[in-house]
Chain A
Amino acid sequence: MNKKLSKISLFILVGVLLLAIFILPLLAATIFSFKGMGGKGYSFINYQWLIEQDGFWPAISTTLRLAILAAILNLSLMVPTMVFLHLKGQKWKPLVDAICILPLIIPVVSLAIGAQVAMPGILQNTEYELVFFYVVIGLPFTYRALDTSLSSVPLKTLVEASRSLGSNWLNTIIRVITPSIRSGITAALFLSFALSLGEYTITSLLHWETFPTWTVVAAQQNILGAIAISVFTFAAAIILMTLIGLSTHKGSGREIVEEEHNYGMAE
């Protein structure tokens, strides 16, 4: 078969599918969400309705607050653990690997109900108990992200080089370890934050109101409003993630454009 032709037809197939199941519905929803009163003309009326709903701003602020806390807690737990595993605790790695995959295997319901009972009293009656669950469900993803990044640099040698050049541990962590696994930390941060933003099941089971649970209730009152919610959420997510991506990428030394290729230079 003609190779080039099959490549083109594959390209068209993917394009059509993408258009049919992703771009078209999204576009339709966006247009629809700007419909005016009673479906006539175009206006911002649905978005206005959304913003004026009771609990809109509190729900957003709760969600952001919890997601930020969860991401920070997750990383402050996982970065030192993973670095330690890669430097000194190779034999513990399978164990931690297994533990970190558990949240994917244990049904969310049993996790939520079971673990809540075991939670310390001070946490049990505040929304901050959710942070704990968000950290747990994020573990499998932060584990992979950090593991991949740590495996791609000769961390042990870099640390030994730093130490033998006279550096103490703190300086080694700040100036050598962190910058070398920056991409992994960014990815882990990203995943943990995004997961917490969108978490619905546990939050709903434990009867807390965050943006995802709030939208479900709000959406039942107004069809066009519900579509506006979807479009808003989608756009907000894209903007937020892009911002995180941009801010963590800046100033990373790896981004140097390889304009000069000095390989193969006569030595």
Chain B
Amino acid sequence: MSAQKRTSSTLELKGVSRHFGSVKALDGLDLTLVPGEMVALLGPSGCGKTTALRIVAGLETATYGDLFINGVRYNDTPVNERDMGMVFQSYSLFPNMTVAENIDYGLRVRKIDKNKRMKRINQMLDLVDLGPKSTSYPHQLSGGQQQRVALARALAIEPNVLLLDEPLSALDAQVRVQIREEIRRIQLDLGITTLFVTHDQEEAMAISDRVGVMRSGKLEQIDTPIDIYNNPATPFVASFVGMANRLPAEISGAGNVKVLEQKIPLSPLSGNLEKTKSAIALVRPEAIALTDEQDPLATRAIVAVKSFQGPITKLGVVIEGYPLIHIDLSSKEARKLDVGQKIAFKITADELMVENV
């Protein structure tokens, strides 16, 4: 299925800022997407993800900075001349039009002849697997089906870039997983450059080529999902992406950090730390392992929670004076453990990211 004739586009944002009064929704955002790439923008609520997307779509204007598509400056191009395929967070199908008419909307505006339009509509319906629903009205569709039609409608116009603003957030967890995989399949199929906004990190990791983590209107780090997870560039990224135990830490000289009586090298990415302030070390649940009682590094704790999740089992263990500590074990290893049982563990990370609090 190759519905996309056009070669994919490059998308570039250079130093883009957007101020709303005194609020800096975007503060010098730099971002480049190579042709055919899918990038997820991830970040806490209010960090400027939607604003960034809307500036690309032309629904919002940048206070400073430039937007380029295939090297052409697009700042002053009106929304309706940008050829952007946008899928919105809330349902946005035209209520008075059928599924087919919704998909047709952008094609009719372009005055494409009727036969070509019909062909295109059918192609799009096949793509999102909604052929039998072509004459249904939006209110007759489930949430997932509506968002698939919205996707088909956005793709029908062969857009330069596909823009997705949390298109799955109104859907049930199960449907969400299925549709995000469908989006990825279609995106790869068409080779369309895609910018995808979400605040669900699992979603971002699962379907994008690169993940950009945003914080207060800036891009904190952009990398492949694996690198974002394994080599976070800042403590913010480390704590935002994936699960991390936040354990009280002491910075000792010689670039070491002392956590739970264990001395571990301090990650150079931690940034400038003030020794006088209290510090927190970020320890991933999988960077903790069970050990022998006799191990000099062992910390003793009691199992409080045990949750089986297929191949791995998540433990929550308690130590006096600490928050609940999460440990991921292989289910095989965890089988012999029960709630209430005493265990010994140690941190196996090569180095730890630390931040002041």
| Interface set of A (CB-CB < 8 Å, partner B) | 153-154, 157-158, 160-168, 171, 175-176, 179-180, 182, 252-254, 256, 258, 260-265, 267
Contacts and interface: CB of A to CB of B under 8 A. Distances in A.
Given A252-B96, A267-B178, A163 B140 contact: no
Contact of A163 (B59, B139, B175): B59
Interface size class of B (residues with CB under 8 A): 35 or more
Nearest to B59: A160
A263 B90 CA distance: 18
Contacts of A157: 88, 90-92
Contacts of A263: 142
Contact of B142 (A160, A161, A168, A267): A267
A167 B110 CA distance: 8
25 contacts: A160-B57, A160-B59, A160-B88, A161-B94, A162-B94, A164-B59, A164-B84, A164-B85, A165-B80, A165-B109, A166-B81, A167-B106, A168-B80, A171-B109, A176-B94, A180-B95, A253-B97, A253-B137, A254-B95, A258-B140, A262-B133, A264-B142, A267-B142, A267-B144, A267-B145
Interface of B: 57-59, 79-86, 88, 90-92, 94-97, 105-106, 109-110, 133, 136-137, 139-142, 144-145, 150, 153-154, 157, 175, 178
A260 B137 CA distance: 10
B92 to A, nearest CB: 4
Contacts of B145: 262, 265, 267
A203 to B, nearest CB: 39
Contacts, number: 95
Given A157-B88, A180-B96, A253-B96, A166 B83 contact: yes
Nearest to A165: B106
A158 B94 contact: yes
A260 B141 CA distance: 10
A164 B82 CA distance: 7
Nearest to A160: B59
